[in-house]
Each structure stands twice: as structure tokens, then as C-alpha cells.
Amino acid sequence: MLSIENLTKRFGGLTAVDQVSMTIVGLMGPNGSGKSTFTNCVSGVYAPNSGTVRFNEIDVTGRATYKNARDGLARTFQTPRVFEELTVLENVTVPLLNTDQSDEAIDEKARSMIEAVDLSHVIEQKAKQLSGGQKKLVEFARNMMRDPALVLMDEPFAGVHPEIKETMFERIEALNEHGTEFLVVSHEVDSLYSISDRIVVFDQGKRIASGLPAKIQQNDRVVEAYLGEEVIA
Ligand SMILES: Nc1ncnc2c1ncn2[C@@H]1O[C@H](COP(=O)(O)OP(=O)(O)O)[C@@H](O)[C@H]1O
Ligand SMILES: [Mg+2]
């Protein structure tokens, strides 16, 4: 569904993503290895310096995020982006405003998405009153309103309460069973191993390994890439 060819993104003299090619999977790598930059290039937040992104065989390189979202390529952010002054319900309805669906249909769908991420008890609260993890769930529910074919998730588990992490896991797995594909970006190795079918590993902007989670765990280059991190942590 998604295919990436020789994607490169530079910030001044720094090459944050260095000629990466891949098809869809779970993406891990130490902090600063280029995961977010990569996700931003794929979803249209950044235009890459070179390389190609194809989604359903269409070249979408550098295309605006909202156009990608309309075509079924959704994404969530490392720091969730919600409308702070709007309620949870209002936040989730946003993607379907200005579509031909009736207000009742939109409302009903939004409520069911909110229920699915266990936020019904805060449905009338403003987003600014929520925890960071709850905001991630709002963003997730909002993304689901358009029935995306593929969802790019940047660090969905980072800094969230274990219960919210569990909800996130369940939702990803349930939707995946119904055909929604995910690219989950995480530096949390254990979370990623448990939900990914295949994993790609970045280090310093390069793709250094890919394969089944069980194989990746034993890959010398991967262990090495993470060693420095563990010493610091
Ligand atoms: N907007 C930016 N401007 C300059 N440098 C950036 C920018 N975003 C990221 N970087 C740099 O690019 C590299 C990769 O960062 P990032 O993609 O955020 O890594 P990760 O998500 O894997 O932690 C880092 O060295 C980071 O400092
Ligand atoms: Mg990141």
C-alpha cells in the first residue's frame, strides 16, 4: 500500500533521513534516529529533499497532509494535535464537517469512535482538560472518522498511562483485523515487538535492519544502536 524509495530529508548540514526505502511496517530506532522526520515526509508535513513516496501506487511525495487524509492516509503526532477549546465530541466530528453526511450520522459515528477509545465519560469536556494520553486517544478517534486505509502513528505509547496504552493496543489490533493498516513509530522496543508483524529499525537516519520481531531482537546492529541509549537512560 505504501512504498518509499530513497527518501532523504536534510536540516541544514544534518541528514535526518538518509536514502530510506521500504514498504509498510512498524518502525523503531533510538531517539534522534529520524523516525519522526520520516513520518513527516511520508504524510506530507515535510517535503523530502529527494526520494519518492507512493500510496496505493500514486506518487504522493510532498503532497499536502489534508489531501492524503482525504484519500485514506491518516496520521497521529508525537505531541497530539487537538483543538484545545473544543469538546471531545466536537474534536472528533471535525473531519466529517463539510461532507455530504447528515449531522445525525456524523454525531452517531463520532460517539461510537469515542466509545471505542473509552472516552465516553469525558465526551463533553474540552480537550484542554484532558491528559496527554487522553488527547492521543481523541486524535486517534478523530482519525478513524474517515475510515482510513493506513494510519501513521508517531510514538502513540510515549508518556501515556498504562491503561491508555492498553486501549491503544486493543484499538490498533481490532482495526488491523478489519483491514486498516498501521505504521507505528516507537522507540519503546517492547511495545513495538508485541504489536508489529514486521519491524524496520532506523539508526542515524539509515534503515539498519528489518524483519520479524523475534529476529530483530537478536540483530547485532540493532542491539548496538540501542546500547548508547540504555547507558544514558
Ligand atoms: N525541524 C528540525 N530542524 C532541524 N533539525 C531537526 C528537525 N527535526 C528533527 N531534527 C533533527 O533530525 C534528527 C532526527 O530527528 P527525529 O526525526 O525527530 O528523530 P526521532 O523521531 O527518531 O527521535 C535529529 O538529529 C533532530 O535533532
Ligand atoms: Mg520522534
Whether 111 is covered by a domain: the verdict is: no
Q: What is the pLDDT of residue 10?
A: 95
- What is the residue with the minimal CA distance to atom 5 of ligand 1? 11
Q: What would the pLDDT profile of 23-42 be if each residue is shown by its tens digit?
A: 656 899 988 999 999 999 99
Mean pLDDT, to the nearest integer, of 189-210?
89
Q: What is the pLDDT of residue 22?
A: 67
Q: What is the pLDDT of residue 46?
A: 92
Q: Which residue has the higher pLDDT, 21 or 143?
A: 143
Neighbours of ion ligand 2 (CB under 5 A): 35-36
Tell me, using a 6 A CB cutoff, whether residue 158 lines ligand 1: no
Whether 141 is covered by a domain: the verdict is: no
Instruction: Tell me the C-alpha distance between 168 and 137, whole Å.
Output: 7
Relative to the alpha carbon of 202, which ligand is closest? 1
Number of domains forming the structure of the chain? 1
Tell me, using a 6 A CB cutoff, whether residue 11 lines ligand 1: yes
Q: What is the pLDDT of residue 76?
A: 92
Q: Is residue 228 very low, low, confident or very high in pLDDT (cuts 50, 70, 90)? A: low
Q: Is residue 233 very low, low, confident or very high in pLDDT (cuts 50, 70, 90)? A: very low
Of 19-23, 36-40, 54-58, 126-130, which range is least confident?
19-23
User: Which of 7, 17, 37, 155 to probe ligand 1 with, by most ligand atoms within 8 A of CB?
Assistant: 37
Q: Residue 227: is its pLDDT beyond 70? A: yes
How many angstroms is it from 100 CA to the middle of ligand 2? 36
How many angstroms is it from 221 CA to the middle of ligand 2? 20
How would you class 179 by CB atoms within 10 Å of its CB: exposed for 0-12, middle for 13-18, buried for 19 or more?
Answer: exposed
Relative to the alpha carbon of 206, which ligand is closest? 1
Whether 117 is covered by a domain: the verdict is: no
Whether 112 is covered by a domain: the verdict is: no
- What is the residue with the minimal CA distance to atom 27 of ligand 1? 32
Tell me, using a 6 A CB cutoff, whether residue 29 lines ligand 1: yes
Relative to the alpha carbon of 78, which ligand is closest? 2
Q: Which of 174, 140, 175, 145 is nearest to 155 (CA)?
A: 140
Structure letter (DSSP) for residue 51: E
Whether 95 is covered by a domain: the verdict is: no
SS3 of residue 70 by DSSP: helix
HEC string of 89-139 equals HHHHHHHHCCCCCCHHHHHHHHHHHHHHCCCHHHCCCEHHHCCHHHHHHHH
Q: Which of 204, 206, 202 is nearest to 222 (CA)?
A: 202
Whether 118 is covered by a domain: the verdict is: no
Instruction: Tell me the C-alpha distance between 15 and 27, whole Å.
Output: 18
Q: Is residue 170 very low, low, confident or very high in pLDDT (cuts 50, 70, 90)? A: very high
Whether 94 is covered by a domain: the verdict is: no
How many angstroms is it from 107 CA to the middle of ligand 2? 33
Q: What is the CATH number of the domain that holds 63?
A: 3.40.50.300
Whether 132 is covered by a domain: the verdict is: no
Structural domain that includes position 37: 2-82+148-232
Instruction: Tell me the C-alpha distance between 16 and 33, whole Å.
Output: 7
Please indicate, yes or no, whether the overall pTM of this predicted structure exceeds 0.75.
yes
Q: What would the pLDDT profile of 69-109 be if each residue is shown by its tens digit?
A: 888 999 999 899 999 999 999 999 999 998 899 999 999 99
Length of the chain: 233
Q: Is residue 194 very low, low, confident or very high in pLDDT (cuts 50, 70, 90)? A: confident
